[in-house]
Structure 1
Amino acid sequence: MSKNISYYRKHVIPILFITVIVSLVYANSLKGSFQFDDSQILLRTNLHLSELTLDSLIGSLYFTPDRENLYRPVPCLTLALNYYFGKDDTFGYHMVNIVIHILCSIAVYIFLLKLLLIPGMRPAIAGRYHHQIACMAAFLFALHPIQTNVATYIIQRMTSLAALFYLISFIGYIQFRMGTLRGQRNQTVKKTYASLFICLLSGLLAVLSKENAAILPVLVISADFLLFYPLLDPAAKKTTRKIYFIILLLLSCALAYVGPKYIYQWIEVYQTRDFTLFERLLTESRIIFFYIYLLLIPNVDLLNLNHDFSISTGLISPPQTLISIVGIILLVGLAFRYRCKKNLISFAIVWYLGNLVIESTFIPLELIFEHRTYLP
């Protein structure tokens, strides 16, 4: 009985607290109007469900009614269902967004609990205070002002759904990997491989929610190398290196297959932008540290849907560009330097930079959006 009470206090209470506080904080957004790209919901007729038939539901998964290209089918299906039940009344759309944000906050809590209890985690103090750290991080994630963009901007449920499935995938991966470690097999084989299935399925759903989740396999390999590889015996390390090679080879082949198509598209898009590829890469180096500033010092006066961010035209134009590039190099060097002694710090750096790679490097997207910090 006392064990159940302890479990309740330790885990259920923080989850209930997150649910209640987030609901109260975002309650005033429930009647907010459609903003910016939210107009897609009204303009894309294939999202206008009039009946809950299989054919109609399948039709909502595509970008256009002609059903030629799938487009973020998981969030699009939820938007179509919102339209079926509420038409252009934004209350239901915002309600779903808030629920997804709550689920993401809970996923952050569970993810950190699992992560910090991995054997050999350094600094060791992180493992000793894993529950306190997980609670604090989940509360910060749930209530940080920078999350307002994703939680209240309807179309950005694409970002929050991708993050939710991404985190669930990582939780499944950690649970699976823990089940494969010698001396740590406190779960059945069935549970271990059920965790692997959850990892793979959730990873697929993350990519089907938003393309930036495609970096997940690389982050999983990085996490495995930093957190689990050092725990293995020599024979297991040799096998693991082969698995790394096979996965990276498959990813490289997939990239080589689909890459040329997108490269030609990106070249065309850059013709319509007011910045070049080189200028974008230079500017993004500054934006990466601007995101860190917003995360550490949540000045609401700096938060905005559209930021007027100056373009870097050279290494010292403005001078902060070179400083930022050096800063990124130092972060990467720090991650490499502490990969053994402080592997949690290394993983944190890889997590932040890695999850910004797709949206903050070569692809000719808008330069800056706060929602890109949601997962990192």
Structure 2
Amino acid sequence: MMFSRLQARPRLATCLALFALVVSIVAIYWPGLGGSFVFDDYPNLLDNPAVRVDKLDAGQWLSAMLSSPASSLQRPLAMFTFALNYFFTGYDAWAMKLTNVGMHAFNALLVFALVRALQRAAAKGPIEGAARALPWFATIAWALHPLHVTAVLYVVQRMEVLAHVPVFAGLWCYVRGRTNLLQGKRGWGWIALGILGGSAMGLLSKESALLLPLYALGIEAFVFRFRGRDGKREPHLLTLYIWLLAVPLVAGTAWLLPRVMDPAAFAGRDFTLHDRLLTEARIVVDYLRWTVFPDVRVMGLYHDDYVISRSWWGPHSPIPAMVVLLALAVGGWMVRKSRPLVALGIFWYFAAHTMTATVVPLELVFEHRNYFALLGVVLALGDLLLCANFAQRIPIVTRTLALIFILVCAATTLMRANEWDSLLRFARSEATKHPNSARATYEYARALIGISGYDPKSPLRKEIFRALDVARRVPGSSTLPEQAELIYSARIGIEPAPGLWDALRAKLRIRSGGPQEQLSLIAMTNCAAQDLCAFPPQEMLDTFQAGLERGPHAGVMTIYANYALHVLGDRPLGLRLLRESVALDPSNAQFQVNLIKLLNSMGLVEESRQHIAVLRTLGRLDQYGPAADELEKTLPAPATTR
């Protein structure tokens, strides 16, 4: 009985310490809960009507789950949680951010369990002294690191946070299964649950969960070393990884390579595949620098001002970064036997960036891409500071460094959370840190406009025009600043600046089909349709023509059709444009719905029925069946001729 009491006390102390960690996470992120939605929150949530679930209807919930515009896989589990938030609290950014913080805190508990299991599996003897603090150091440093602020307080990046719940849990299951096998117990069920179950569940939130088998390979290679209970190599494990990694790698490469080699894959980017690969070497090193030496002055949501490497030589040469990465990889390999957790941490850091820092034509820099990679860094750092031989010789120095690192992380995260406490403060902070960022400067101007309420007498009027002018002049800026200034000028009743319409059209001729360019056209069309902006019709028509100069584009034509229908009242033009947009992209359900509604209003029943039939075939699990049923109910009696 005395022994059970002694055993219970450490467990109680551990639970209390983990509870204190969760409270600390919530407390540090608390100032940022008062902020607003930003950037991709709008297309994924605020401008996504499917998320607005207001009743317990299976069709509504299914539509919400399959409504993500961010991925062809729809990320249904993440979208379900957004719909759940809306069902209870509507578009309350505070509630959605708090949900993110809760998920991040839960992940911290999983990280603790995972690191503790890894340390026990890698230990060659009893874990004593400062080494026992490794799980605590890695967990606290990971949970409170400022690089996670954009993953946690940027609402839509719940996808990244939620995807890693089954990743961390799956890796823990894998360690549990392998430990059982070494002890002569049943473990293959745990291994299958961890790798297959974790990957499948994580994929429902974001594709980054597909890296789980690669992370498990690192555990196997550096901790368990493919050994069985008898100390010999376990052939079943080699077979497992051939099927889990080698076969999908060959198949994935065969599918992906032609697509990334196609020049059209980078048509909407200001960099090529060659530029991307050179630049990402520098970015991955910068991620590492930001992890080890957190600096609030350079961290932020927007990094579109990152200078692209166009060649091997010059002021932005990737060669020094490549040397650093090679040295890191070689160092990890050299210590794989003496310090397996250091080698594993380095491997995890590289593995976590294989999807987002290689050939896939994504944007170049986002801090939330380090959500798992950061664990690799703090695992390696903690092992060196608390467990290595030199740490035993100078314990005061290494333990002090470990404590300072945690305190710096916590303080920097608190400062960053305070920057997110209001839309204006966040926007001003981002624009100050990144004055050459087209997005940051535009968002600051937009925040000022929102606060002004379009009051012609607002004291912010002069600052608004100054901020818009700054945003317009940033190299590589989109049409958003011109659009915002045209709308602001129209709404306060003044003439726009000379040449503003021409500047807008010049940018559209260069890149008309990009998401920001389409958002500009949508905003201007909506403003005109709501009688808030008295734009000259000829200026708008010339603008749409500029957007179509590079060729027909389904999205631009749909926006043009809305302008023709709701502003010009030109139904024949609207019908022609909607027919053309559907012909260009027949798999787009919204385009089909737009056309069907117009056909119904014009009495074109047979054509409408054809498109309703097409709508039923789109999506997954009869996703658009309810919408098709509703549209079918509005079919009028057939018109004679048209």
The match for 1:134 is 135
1:118 equivalent among 90, 101, 121: 121
CA distance in 1, matches of 2:33, 2:214: 37
How many residue pairs were aligned? 365
Unaligned runs of 5+ in 1: none
Deviations 1:263-311 (A, max 9, x none): 47x7423112111111111111111111111111111111111122111
Q: Report if aligned partners of 1:173, 1:199 keep a CA contact under 8 Å in 2.
A: yes
Report the TM-score, using the length of structure 1 for normalisation: 0.89
Offset, 1:97: 0.6
Which SS does the other structure have where 1:269 is aligned? helix
1:314 equivalent among 287, 311, 315: 311
Q: Which has the larger radius of gyration?
A: 2
The match for 1:80 is 83
Bigger shift: residues 296-305 or 47-56: 47-56
2:208 equivalent among 191, 212, 231: 212
Which SS does the other structure have where 1:117 is aligned? helix
Which is bigger in relative contact order (C-alpha 8 A, separation at least 6)?
A: 1
- Residue type matched to 1:292 in 2? L
Q: Report if aligned partners of 2:67, 2:74 keep a CA contact under 8 Å in 1.
A: yes
1:323 equivalent among 316, 320, 332: 320
The match for 2:274 is 278
1:101 equivalent among 90, 99, 104: 104
- Residue type matched to 1:342 in 2? R
The match for 1:343 is 340
Bigger shift: residues 199-208 or 346-355: 199-208
The match for 1:356 is 353
- Residue type matched to 1:26 in 2? Y
Q: Report if aligned partners of 1:168, 1:199 keep a CA contact under 8 Å in 2.
A: no
CA distance in 2, matches of 1:16, 1:240: 37
CA distance in 2, matches of 1:212, 1:349: 18
Q: Report if aligned partners of 2:260, 2:359 keep a CA contact under 8 Å in 1.
A: no
Report the TM-score, using the length of structure 2 for normalisation: 0.53
Offset, 1:13: 1.9
CA distance in 2, matches of 1:192, 1:318: 52
CA distance in 2, matches of 1:160, 1:238: 35
Q: Report if aligned partners of 1:161, 1:209 keep a CA contact under 8 Å in 2.
A: yes
CA distance in 2, matches of 1:69, 1:291: 28
CA distance in 1, matches of 2:8, 2:188: 24
Deviations 1:194-225 (A, max 9, x none): 56425432221212211122122122123212
The match for 2:59 is 55
Q: Report if aligned partners of 1:63, 1:70 keep a CA contact under 8 Å in 2.
A: no
| Identity score, percent | 25
Unaligned runs of 5+ in 2: 374-642
Q: Report if aligned partners of 1:108, 1:138 keep a CA contact under 8 Å in 2.
A: yes
The match for 1:156 is 157
- Residue type matched to 1:218 in 2? L
Specify whether residues 269 and 260 from structure 1 end up closer, same or farther in structure 2 by C-alpha distance, changes over 3 A only.
Answer: closer
Q: Report if aligned partners of 1:165, 1:202 keep a CA contact under 8 Å in 2.
A: yes
The match for 2:239 is 242
Offset, 1:87: 1.3
- Residue type matched to 1:59 in 2? S
Which SS does the other structure have where 1:91 is aligned? helix
The match for 1:334 is 331
- Residue type matched to 1:248 in 2? L
Which SS does the other structure have where 2:50 is aligned? helix
Which SS does the other structure have where 1:111 is aligned? helix
The match for 2:94 is 91
- Residue type matched to 2:142 in 1? F
Which SS does the other structure have where 1:41 is aligned? helix
Q: Report if aligned partners of 2:25, 2:144 keep a CA contact under 8 Å in 1.
A: yes
Deviations 1:122-158 (A, max 9, x none): xx79786554111112111221222111111101111
Offset, 1:261: 7.5
